[in-house]
Structure 1
Amino acid sequence: MGLLSQGSPLSWEETKRHADHVRRHGILQFLHIYHAVKDRHKDVLKWGDEVEYMLVSFDHENKKVRLVLSGEKVLETLQEKGERTNPNHPTLWRPEYGSYMIEGTPGQPYGGTMSEFNTVEANMRKRRKEATSVLEENQAVCTITSFPRLGCPGFTLPEFKPNPVEGGASKSLFFPDEAINKHPRFSTLTRNIRHRRGEKVVINVPIFKDRNTPSPFIETFPEDDEASRASKPEHIYMDAMGFGMGNCCLQVTFQACSISEARYLYDQLATICPIVMALSAASPFYRGYVSDIDCRWGVISASVDDRTREERGLEPLKNNNYRISKSRYDSIDSYLSKCGEKYNDIDLTIDKEIYEQLLQEGIDHLLAQHVAHLFIRDPLTLFEEKIHLDDANESDHFENIQSTNWQTMRFKPPPPNSDIGWRVEFRPMEVQLTDFENSAYVVFVVLLTRVILSYKLDFLIPLSKVDENMKVAQKRDAVLQGMFYFRKDICKGGNAVVDGCGKAQNSTELAAEEYTLMSIDTIINGKEGVFPGLIPILNSYLENMEVDVDTRCSILNYLKLIKKRASGELMTVARWMREFIANHPDYKQDSVITDGMNYSLILKCNQIANELCECPELLGSAFRKVKYSGSKTDSSN
């Protein structure tokens, strides 16, 4: 969730008064880091994953499942039993936005050897088992992206009612502030986004129109004029940060060998983000309704959109400096490597003074405009104790802005005075039900980075086309129905892609000739005469590597899952959930998910995650059925 400072949080008005101070010193902190480590090379290739979990409680007697607001207590227990007792403990636990959420990572980053791939799933299993061991009876940790009845009456345990009047953090009609993590960063973020925006956030998700869904589908909010104005016909309306940041995801961070390699990986993986997002689609339900989207990305983007009406282009600029085209949670806006420059076809709003300052300090144009674009944003949280810092040895002001620009990729400079290198974070994936699936997606992306670097691959297309792909990726059944712009010849970069693109085409040539629309099946599995396919390329790489038998079998099992999800032989989690609800005996084809249906779905998800039942339509034969006791709940209790 980014920077977690401790101290006394400031109100939005107080934070606003210090915004220029934070930006000015944030840039100074970045410059200190850059000049200290810009020439650093040969850092070891390291990487690690982040899995977010929801805590749920099953009421088997009444056929209900609720989110348990015990995240802080669970986290404290896990940290006390783990890293505080043993600094080398194999898992780390961190807070997340929801007080029903926790985040788990490996205790140490994975290294560059192939055998590391065979330890990912075991570590994820350990995390699930550890977290489960500190829960109460009939409780479970679930890796579901969105809780289907989030925001419905009584969705939390203990139950709290929303507080839409002034004084609350979100003023939501649906999401109680008690469901927000108690760390002051989270409620302050929520309140300050609303105050900066000048109104509540607005999330409108298209409803899935089933046979008995009202037509038109219209929600009415007679007690709330703001909601009445904001809600749209044929859409599910939501009004709080928790509807986005209260979802779970799966992320991977890579340490590169140098800054140039990090910038190259950042660009190449940015084009892969919408593809993997569609492949990992797992969130079709919102606020008790069946939606017409399969991914959370647009929901979370709207949930933290702090832009004013002026910045959104709805009113003339008067009190603000910029028109800003996107929420601060969105796809990237510029490539960072030299080979990406000619594909930067999105108008980039930048702070010109910061841009000129960075150029004068020796930062190149591409990196300078990237940072100057991030810094058009205001800080959203500030702690009184963290206003005046040592810019040469601290980076809180830089991270304040950096960590609240939540984009598909994040370019991460090393922390000051550390042995950590230049990193990039891959952020679009939806979390999956099982440790096997989550491991498969992580291994696929990490292996892809190894192949990109080894074969000097070039996936770059105009960034505007990546944005179009992002929109397609979130649609229902995008993995089967969507067509995505993708580069046709990914080997044109020659042998020096990282240092400047080798034989890349002259920028005067028509970029349109370099890419075409492809299905995800073609991109992942290949199609003769069109594209070789990412899985065949990965398989070719594996054949040329020395890999022990167990590791090779594990990797091939993971790639088999990705391959079959792409072809449609196996369902995405989103499609499987839709089918489950559609076939539920209580479902009335009206797009409504009742408590009983939600209970059945989450119970089934938990049984699948703990290998208490099989699910061949979701996992196929690739799933290794090694049973373990990782659940404290069963419907027979």
Structure 2
Amino acid sequence: MGLLSEGTPLSWQETKKLADHVRKHGIEQFIKLYHSLKDRSTICLKWGDEVEYMLVKFDHDKKKARVLLDAERVLNILQEQERRKPKDNPTSWKPEYAAYMIEGTPGHPYGPRMAHFNVVEANMKLRREEVLSQLCENETALSLTSFPTLGCSDFTSPHYDPTPTCGASHSLFFPEEAIYQGHPRFSTLTRNIRERRGEKVVINIPIYKDKNTPSPFVEDFSQYGDDGEAQNASKPDHIYVDCMGYGMGCCCLQMTFQACNIQEARLLYDQLNPLCPIVLALSAACPINRGYLADTDCRWDIISASVDCRTKEERGEQPLKEDRFVIPKSRYASIDSYLSPCGEKYNDIELVMDKDIYKRLRDNGIDHLLAQHIAHLFIRDPISLFSEKIHQNDDEDSDHFENIQSTNWQTMRFKPPPPNTTIGWRVEFRPTEVQLTDFENAAFVVFIALLTRVILSFKLNFVIPVSKVDENMKKAHRRDAVLNEKFYFRKDIMTCNSPPEAEIACGCLAKEGDDFMPSGDEYCLLSINEIINGKPGEFLGLVPLIKQYLECVDDCDVDTSCTINQYLSLIQERASGKRMTTACWMRSFVAKHPAYKDDSVVTDEIAYDLVKACDDITQGRIDCPELLPCYNTKSEQHIPTAVLKEEQFYQKKAAKQHQVPPLTTLAYSD
């Protein structure tokens, strides 16, 4: 969740008048933050995950599943428990956009030793148990990317009707009460996005054309109270939805990594970017929207459209008069530029940026790559502002900077340390779709976390042109992309700085000279199976690479090794097609349901059975070999005391010597 300022929200017109004020002071805050913290080094690698949960209520008599609008009550209880023992609480809880959503994270970040990988799943189980303990009979907490009947009639419990002519969203399908009411941020964002855009957001999702699906598929929205806006905005053969709730009402899985310093954070930001579309396709879990089967598998483009506050001028549909820029993408999109020297030559798309802000940053000692990144983020207006936060002390506060930073929802996020904390420079990996079980979610978290270690320890280079990553993002959304699409991926990953261990792992010699000259020979089209499991003679494969890395570490106990290998096996089997993605499994479930009429319609009965099956799989009441292998991880609730003591000793020794131990020593092996 982004910045949660307290106070009285301003209207869009009031916020618009203050947009330049927020940008000006946001940049001043960043400049001061940068110069005071640019040399900050952290002794210990830290990392963590965020899982978003969806509250669901079953009506077994009527065979109906609804989203449960009870997040505020549940969250208040969980946060109160957290406040009672802030140092010892193993979990932490935050609100999310919808009144049926809750975000859970570990109470404290994970650390550098291999044993930390063996607590991820156990902590996720604990989080789910804490939520479930506050629910009643026939209620559950699912890590479900998108609720299949979101926006259909009677999809909330308690029931509320949409209000197409009033409220924050003016939605035909999504009631105001389904937005989380415990903090004004969410309704304010919804209202201001719509008002800034000058119309409701437009989300058109290609419908899956089954043999009985009408052709063309066209809906009549007058039955919902449409004044003609929806009918004009909708496209034939598309599922139309009309507000922020359809995107931000989806659940996801995110990971944050604290780097040792700003240079390493910028490097990780770049190196993880090409992995975003690969992981998006591999975790695909969103094939049903507003009660229809879609011809796409992922949520990303839906969220992108749901918060697209660009005006017609900014979208290039009218000449620029009132607005400053034509902006190619929504503020929820893939990144547009790399931040480190290794990525600079791969910045091959035109970057729209505020040139005055860029000059201000450069004049104040910010290098070109970082200056253009910030100047690009700041082409956006603030879309939520609170009266109590208008005037700030730029020497101590960073809320104006975070206001715009946190509403640029991109695949990767570069995160400066908050002021007045000991936190280091961080990067956030944001594309992953949440999975049904704690085992699956832990598998994706551990997979990405291990990749960060491999990249840094072996000094590898995964960077490809930004334009190719954008092409990959488009492919990742397509139905069964994990099996049917080929993605641009770098085959030449060694650098002149790669150590001998990397040469052994990759089966080739380190490069000589300039590592980072773009060349079409450096990347090729590979299937996800080839990217994950390897292609002989062309690419080793990410999982074999991780396994080779694990051979080089000596602090991995038997239980942790067993757990990691089970996670990696799941990733490999998803990539090869041996196990289905969640999206593929859901499609198969609907197609086989006796009530399905081959018309793309997911009825209440089908949705009930599907959501109930999801709950049964999550709770381990049924096996689903199409989706999951038989697994028996030995994930532990706590890091062994001996490991913690060793970490503390290492940190104190390094701090005493006023230096940061080499990352490969501290974070990867001892």
Q: Which amino acid aligns with 1:236?
A: I
Distance 1:234 1:173 in 2: 19
- Structure 2 equivalent of residue 99 of structure 1: 99
Task: Return the offset for 1:505.
Answer: 4.0
CA contact (8 A) 1:535 1:563 kept: yes
Task: Return the offset for 1:174.
Answer: 0.3
Task: Return the offset for 1:80.
Answer: 1.4
Partner of 1:621, secondary structure, is: coil
Task: Return the offset for 1:88.
Answer: 2.0
Distance 1:106 1:20 in 2: 37
Distance 2:26 2:295 in 1: 41
- Structure 2 equivalent of residue 227 of structure 1: 230
- Structure 1 equivalent of residue 581 of structure 2: 572
CA contact (8 A) 1:457 1:493 kept: no
Q: Deviations over 1:228-258 (max 9, x none)?
A: 1100000000000000000000000000000
Partner of 1:617, secondary structure, is: coil
Distance 1:505 1:304 in 2: 41
CA contact (8 A) 1:611 1:625 kept: no
Q: Which amino acid aligns with 1:130?
A: E
Distance 1:140 1:246 in 2: 17
Counterpart mapping for 1:417-428 below 5 A: 417-428=420-431
Whether 1:615 and 2:624 are equivalent positions in the alignment is yes
- Structure 2 equivalent of residue 365 of structure 1: 368
**Of 427, 430, 433, the match for 1:430:** 433
Task: Return the offset for 1:85.
Answer: 4.1
Whether 1:272 and 2:311 are equivalent positions in the alignment is no
- Structure 2 equivalent of residue 171 of structure 1: 170
- Structure 2 equivalent of residue 600 of structure 1: 609
- Structure 1 equivalent of residue 544 of structure 2: 536
Q: Which amino acid aligns with 2:158?
A: P
Task: Return the offset for 1:137.
Answer: 1.3
**TM-score, normalised to structure 1's length?**
0.96
Whether 1:138 and 2:138 are equivalent positions in the alignment is yes
CA contact (8 A) 1:248 1:430 kept: yes
Distance 2:303 2:137 in 1: 32
Task: Return the offset for 1:219.
Answer: 1.2
- Structure 1 equivalent of residue 288 of structure 2: 285
Whether 1:238 and 2:246 are equivalent positions in the alignment is no
- Structure 1 equivalent of residue 397 of structure 2: 394
CA gap 1:159/1:493 in 2 versus in 1, 3 angstroms: farther
Whether 1:340 and 2:343 are equivalent positions in the alignment is yes
Task: Return the offset for 1:32.
Answer: 1.2
- Structure 2 equivalent of residue 585 of structure 1: 594
Task: Return the offset for 1:397.
Answer: 0.3
CA contact (8 A) 1:458 1:493 kept: no
CA gap 1:338/1:592 in 2 versus in 1, 3 angstroms: same
Partner of 2:253, secondary structure, is: strand
Distance 1:434 1:617 in 2: 14
- Structure 1 equivalent of residue 568 of structure 2: 559
Q: Deviations over 1:25-73 (max 9, x none)?
A: 1011111110111112244210000000000000011100100111111
Q: Which amino acid aligns with 1:430?
A: E
Whether 1:65 and 2:65 are equivalent positions in the alignment is yes
Whether 1:23 and 2:23 are equivalent positions in the alignment is yes
Partner of 1:92, secondary structure, is: strand
Counterpart mapping for 1:35-434 below 5 A: 35-165=35-165, 167-182=166-181, 183-222=183-222, 223-434=226-437
Partner of 1:424, secondary structure, is: strand
Partner of 1:251, secondary structure, is: strand
**Of 534, 543, 548, the match for 1:526:** 534
Distance 2:494 2:401 in 1: 37
Q: Which amino acid aligns with 2:574?
A: R
- Structure 2 equivalent of residue 465 of structure 1: 468
Partner of 1:428, secondary structure, is: coil
- Structure 2 equivalent of residue 549 of structure 1: 558
Distance 2:577 2:346 in 1: 32
- Structure 1 equivalent of residue 655 of structure 2: none
Task: Return the offset for 1:492.
Answer: 3.0
- Structure 2 equivalent of residue 630 of structure 1: none
Q: Which amino acid aligns with 1:532?
A: L
CA contact (8 A) 1:58 1:65 kept: yes
Partner of 1:390, secondary structure, is: coil
CA gap 1:80/1:527 in 2 versus in 1, 3 angstroms: same
Q: Deviations over 1:448-491 (max 9, x none)?
A: 00000000010011100000000000110000001100011101
Identical amino acids, percent of aligned pairs: 64
Q: Deviations over 1:121-151 (max 9, x none)?
A: 0000000001000011110000000000000
Task: Return the offset for 1:389.
Answer: 0.7
Uncovered stretches (5+) of structure 1, i.e. residues with no partner = 627-637
Distance 1:370 1:448 in 2: 24
Distance 2:156 2:518 in 1: 55
Task: Return the offset for 1:81.
Answer: 2.2
Task: Return the offset for 1:158.
Answer: 0.6
Uncovered stretches (5+) of structure 2, i.e. residues with no partner = 500-509, 636-670
Distance 2:46 2:468 in 1: 30
- Structure 1 equivalent of residue 504 of structure 2: none
- Structure 1 equivalent of residue 520 of structure 2: 512
CA contact (8 A) 1:436 1:623 kept: no
Task: Return the offset for 1:494.
Answer: 2.8
Q: Which amino acid aligns with 1:606?
A: D
Distance 2:340 2:289 in 1: 38
CA gap 1:480/1:362 in 2 versus in 1, 3 angstroms: same
Distance 1:588 1:117 in 2: 45
Q: Which amino acid aligns with 1:567?
A: S
Partner of 2:216, secondary structure, is: coil
Partner of 2:54, secondary structure, is: strand
Q: Deviations over 1:376-424 (max 9, x none)?
A: 0000000000000111111100000000000000000000121000000
Return 74-83 or 476-485, whichever deviates more: 74-83
CA contact (8 A) 2:417 2:426 kept: yes
CA contact (8 A) 1:244 1:299 kept: yes
Task: Return the offset for 1:86.
Answer: 4.3
Paired positions, count: 620
CA contact (8 A) 2:437 2:618 kept: yes
CA contact (8 A) 1:558 1:622 kept: no
CA contact (8 A) 1:560 1:622 kept: no
Q: Deviations over 1:483-512 (max 9, x none)?
A: 10001110135349xxxx9956477x6621
Partner of 1:429, secondary structure, is: coil
